[in-house]
Amino acid sequence: MSAIELQHLVVRFGGLVAVSDLSFSVREGSIHSLIGPNGAGKSTVINAITGLYRPSNGSVSIFGRDIAGLRPDQISRAGVARTFQNTEMFGEMTVIENVVVGAHRRADYGILGAMLRLPKFSRQESGLYDRAAELLELVGLGPDRNMLASALPFGKQRPLEIARALASSPKVLLLDEPAAGLRAAEIERLNLTLANLRREHGLTILLVDHVMKVVMNISDRITVLNFGQKIAEGTPEEVRTDPEVRRAYLGDRPARARAS
Amino acid sequence: MLLPQIILSGITAGAVYALVALGFVLIYKGTHVIHFGLGEQVALGAYLVIILQLYVGLAFWPAIFLALVAAGLIGLLIERLVMRPIKLQPILVQIIATLAIGLGIREGVRAVMGPQAWPFEFLLSPVPQSFMGLHFALANIAIVAAALIVMAGLYVFFNHMKLGRAVLATCENPVGASLTGMPVPAILTSIWVMASVLAAIAGILLAPIVTLSPELGLIGIKGFTVAVLGGFTSLPGAVVGGVILGTIETAAGIYVSTAMKDATTYLLLALIIIVRPQGLFGQRTVNKV
Amino acid sequence: MSPRLARWLGGLALLLVWPLVASEYRVFQAGLVASTAIIALGLIIVTGVAGQVSLAQAAFAAIGAYGAALFAVRLGIPAWFGIPLAAGLAGLAGYALGFASLRLGGHYLALVTMALTAIVQVLLIHWEDLTGGALGLAVTPLSIAGKELTSGFALYYVVAPVAWGMFAAAANLLDSRLGRAFAALRQSEVAAQTLGVNALHYKALAFACSAVFGAVGGGLQALQTTFLDPHAFGIIESVVLVAIIVIGGFRSIAGAAFGSAAFVLIPEMLGAFQSYKGAVWAVLLLLMIVFFPGGLAGLGVTLARRFLPMLTRSAR
């Protein structure tokens, strides 16, 4: 059973087909990347997996469980977490509070427990903050914990989103362009973090990006999309030398939609 | 009462609602803001006429003309002083701002003119005429005619005139519009001016029929309901919606009770929004993340 | 004892002691500020923190006011039980309404909540057998051991501690995973959902909270006004309540207190120009929106932090 399995996924917006007949699977504990030229449908795939878009057809399974059509919060409960292409931080909260929100489902005290500060609340709440602090250390944001999230420099916003996603203790992590806009040193750090997550925490990671320094370096397997369809798949080496991929990116023929 | 008579009464009432709704649709099409205070601007239109008659001593028709000018000016002030500074704030704040404008106009009117009802002259004869067994007044005809003229005018404006299309374009993409040289701020201001004058016209037509008091602003809700029924972006929809609401209301008033007339509107509003928010002719939009 | 608890208890002590050096009139006024603040607090939770516009707060206050009064008059249930009962019913109604309509955003939600308020008011005015109709309903006073509590002092010592309790509960709520979920939904609903927050449920919950607070405040205020007029529970009143929290500062619970105080005190400050109080209120609201989005709480936050830190714990 794969950690993530897409079978014949189709995502349509009105008349526009953003993703058509996409199938691939991600082995548990591996890092799988999704690449392709702009507009290839990569973010759409992530959005479809996490329930923000409803798949028009096909299935999406997480450890064998079909999650297509579920609400995003239900999919989160199935063990899926993600980061966003345009960072969706909670700007008015502090860095650590952002991560604590990620741990929302790690506690289950209810409204009365919260209002009356019942014992269950006290027990669980400090645990949430402790875990959040650990995760911030992991991504290198420990000293910034009390800073307002909207005041964070761009290079730190991405690690914050990762820490926040990890707070929900996912089994599968989806990263939507985590390296976009990062400087060289930050990219290095990202690579280390990802390798660490796979090695120490056994996380399965699906990664969408353009930055080849990350993708080629860290991926176990890569799927290449163009115009919403898979045009190549394999190890980084295989993909790097694939002529179809070259054509899609460099376009020595005029780009047009074609079946692969 | 015969069904045709009900429909006729319904059309008259509906025409007024449609006029108000057209104002909402105009502002929404132009600026993507629902102006919750437009109902109060309707009442203000009628009040302005009375104020000009009483305190400036104008005769009826000059007072109307000047009232429309004043209404337009007020629309300009609203756009410049309130809506423009907060254009970039979250929708919540803009909604509250339009509510505040409504509250301000209503309370201002109450402070100056008192909470009591004021009588208002009819533009055309209110005496019911008889025609083929149906009763109607010329005043009612005036209202229906006004609604149709305004709707036709706005329709032509937005669909067939360069300026109207420019307005729509500005609303869809302000940056693009200004890059192609369109005077975006002036266009937005003119939308508000137009809608304010429109509201004033509706008020002047409505005031003779209904008691003119600060409460008249609550007609705004009927305007909303009609606009939502028609699908907030559709001008013909506002007119059709007006007729539908007017008829339903008249029927409810006769077959159930007069108290239920208003309740019908509110229930209808709640129902449409929950069941079919895009109304009859509107479109559902999908948001891309 | 934690410093936080100490601060809150200190505040309570202050609330209970100051009337001893104040006039009956001022104390009665303070009681009105307190009951208004409870109603406004509900709106802070649903609109200020959770970001859901609600023009239904007057309706929830009406449910609390009329509910408790009718329980007392028709069923002999004293307000001690009647108000919590009415608040519970309001909460259920709030959750149901929230669930039905909170999928819609912004404008449509404003319209639906407006419609709800209008419908409730129509019922209050026209269901004469039940509510006394347009002529209004007299409110049975609260009594302890046979003695009726009708003086400004007596009512203050009922309402103020309840207000304190509800502010404490609200502060606790906002500083918990539920409050964080509310705030997260406002700041990025999409991100909150992918972190496991069921958007519809939490929005409906925020709405239910606003209903409960509104009903409690309404029920208490009914005891203070001793007479219920259905015309006081309409859309305009809902808008005024929104104005109260915006002027007070709508992201923090302190805003409910500041706004309510301003609302009760400003008419007095106008003296001879009483009839302009509505217009002044509206202009103040517009000024706040355009120039001071943080409201009075935002303006006064530096001062307050120095002297009364507990009140400015902000919604995060």
Does any domain span residue C100? yes
Mean pLDDT of all residues in chain C?
Answer: 88
In a domain, A151, yes or no: yes
Please, how many CA atoms are within 13 Å of residue C250, restricted to the half-sphere of its CB?
Answer: 29
Q: Cα separations (Å) of C122 from B29, B179, C87, C118, C134?
A: 32, 51, 20, 6, 10
Q: Find the mean pLDDT for residues B227-236.
A: 82
Residue B288's pLDDT is 40
In a domain, C40, yes or no: yes
Q: What is the mean pLDDT of residues B167-185?
A: 77
C8: chain A residues, CB-CB within 8 Å? none
Segment C100-152, tens digit of pLDDT: 776 777 778 888 898 899 999 988 988 888 878 888 888 888 888 778 888 88
For C134, name the nearest residue in chain B, comparing CA atoms only: B259
Distances in Å between the alpha carbon of C184 and those of A219, A241, C181? 32, 45, 5
| Residue C156 located in a structural domain | yes
List chain A residues with CB under 8 Å of B286: 13-14
Range name among A11-20, B129-138, C56-65, C293-302 with the lowest pLDDT average: B129-138
Phi/psi at A250 (5° precision): -95, -20
Residues of chain A short of pLDDT 70, as ranges, are: 250-260
- Cα angle: A71, vertex C92, C193; to 5 degrees: 20
Write down the architecture of domain B3-125+133-275 according to CATH: Orthogonal Bundle (1.10)
CB-based contact B287:C106 (threshold 8 Å) = no
- Looking at the structure, tell me whether residues A193 and A164 fall in a common domain: no
Choose one of A123, A145, A169: the last residue of a domain.
A169
Total domains in chain A come to 2
B16: its two tokens: 């007024």
In this prediction, residue C303 has a pLDDT band, given cuts at 50, 70 and 90, of: low
State the average pLDDT over residues C243-265: 91
Confidence band, pLDDT 50/70/90 cuts, at residue B162: confident
- CA C283 to CA C267: how far, in whole Å? 14
Residue C315 lies in a domain: no
**pLDDT at position C306:** 64
Give me the residue from B95, B99, B266 closest to C119, CB to CB. B266
Report the DSSP pairing between strands A221-226 and A31-35: parallel
Domain assignment present for C45: yes
Residue window 65-104, chain A: list those with CB within 8 Å of chain B: 84
CB A168 within 8 A of CB A106: yes
Residue C139 is given by DSSP the state P
Residue A175 lies in a domain: yes
**Is there a single domain that holds both residue A65 and residue A182?**
yes
Residue with tokens 């399974």: A61
CA distance to partner chain C, nearest, from residue B62 (Å): 28
Mean pLDDT of B259-276: 80
On whether any CB of chain B is under 8 Å from the CB of A249, the answer is: no
* Helix, coil or strand: residue A12: strand
| φ, ψ of residue A40 in degrees (nearest 5) | -75, -15
Q: Do C187 and A114 touch (CB under 8 A)?
A: no
Strand C142-144 vs strand A16-26: parallel, antiparallel, or unpaired? unpaired
In a domain, C210, yes or no: yes
Domain boundary assignment for chain B: 3-125+133-275
Those residues whose C-beta lies under 8 Å from the C-beta of residue A163, and which sit 6 or more positions away, are A98, A99, A102, A132, A135, A136, A138, A139, A141
Among positive and negative, which fits the CA dihedral B56, B58, B61, B65?
negative
CB B264 within 8 A of CB B249: yes
Domain residue limits at A165: 89-169
Which of B264-268, B281-285, C119-123 has the largest mean confidence?
C119-123
Picking from A75, A84, A114, the nearest residue to C176 by CB comes out as A114
In a domain, A257, yes or no: no
User: Residue C288: which of B86, B36, B108, B107 has the closest Cα?
Assistant: B86
CB B64 within 8 A of CB B1: no
Tokens of B149: 């003229």
What total number of domains does chain C contain?
1
Of the candidates B27, B15, B32, B24, the residue with the CA atom closest to the CA atom of residue B241: B15
In this complex, is the C-beta atom of B286 within 8 Å of any C-beta atom belonging to chain A?
Answer: yes
**pLDDT value at residue B60:** 83
CA distance A45 to A26: 14
Q: Shortest CB distance from B95 goes to which of C110, C119, C275?
A: C110
Contacts of residue A257, defined as CB under 8 A and 6 or more positions apart, other chains included, come to: A227, A229
CA-nearest residue to A51 within chain B is B289
Contact at CB, C205 and A111, closer than 8 angstroms = yes
pLDDT score, position B134: 67
- Same structural domain, A190 and A163: no
Chain C residue closest to B279 (CA)?
A: C108
Strand partners, A35: A224
* Whole-number Å distance between alpha carbons of B26 and B18: 12
Rounded to whole angstroms, the Cα distance separating C12 from C145 reads 25
Within an 8 Å CB–CB cutoff, is residue B110 touching chain C?
A: yes
Please indicate, yes or no, if residue C307 is contained in any of the structural domains: no
Give the end-to-end CA distance of chain A in Å, rounded to a whole number.
26
CA distance C298 to C292: 8
* pTM score: 0.88
Q: Mean pLDDT, chain B, as a whole number?
A: 82
pLDDT at C295: 80
Q: Are the beta carbons of B259 and B252 closer than 8 angstroms? A: no
Instruction: Tell me, yes or no, whether A259 lies in a domain.
Output: no
Within a domain: residue A260? no
Count of CB atoms situated within 10 Å of the CB of A138: 18
Rounded CA-CA distance C211/C205 in Å is: 10
Q: A111 and A61, same structural domain? A: no
Helix (H, G, I), strand (E, B) or coil at C182: helix
In a domain, C132, yes or no: yes
Q: State the virtual CA torsion across C107, C112, C115, C117 in degrees, nearest 10.
A: -100
Q: Does B92 touch chain A (CB under 8 A)?
A: no
- Please report the pLDDT score of residue A174 as a whole number: 95
N-to-C CA span, chain C: 24
Residue B287 has what pLDDT?
44
Query: Which runs of consecutive H residues, i.e. helices, occur in B129-286?
Result: 138-160, 162-172, 174-179, 184-206, 219-230, 235-255, 258-275
Q: b vs e for C90-127, b when ≥16 Cβ sit within 10 Å of the residue's Cβ?
A: bbebbbebbbbbbebebbbbbbbbbbbbbbbbbbbbbe
Residue-range definition of the domain harbouring residue C233: 3-237
Q: Which of A169, A194, A214 is the last residue of a domain?
A: A169
C residues 286-305 closer than 8 Å to B (CB): 286, 289-290, 293
- Give the CATH number of the domain where residue A41 resides: 3.40.50.300
| pLDDT number for residue A18 | 86
Over residues C13-62, the pLDDT tens digits come to 999 999 888 888 899 999 999 999 999 999 999 999 998 889 999 999 99
A21 and A149: one domain?
Answer: no
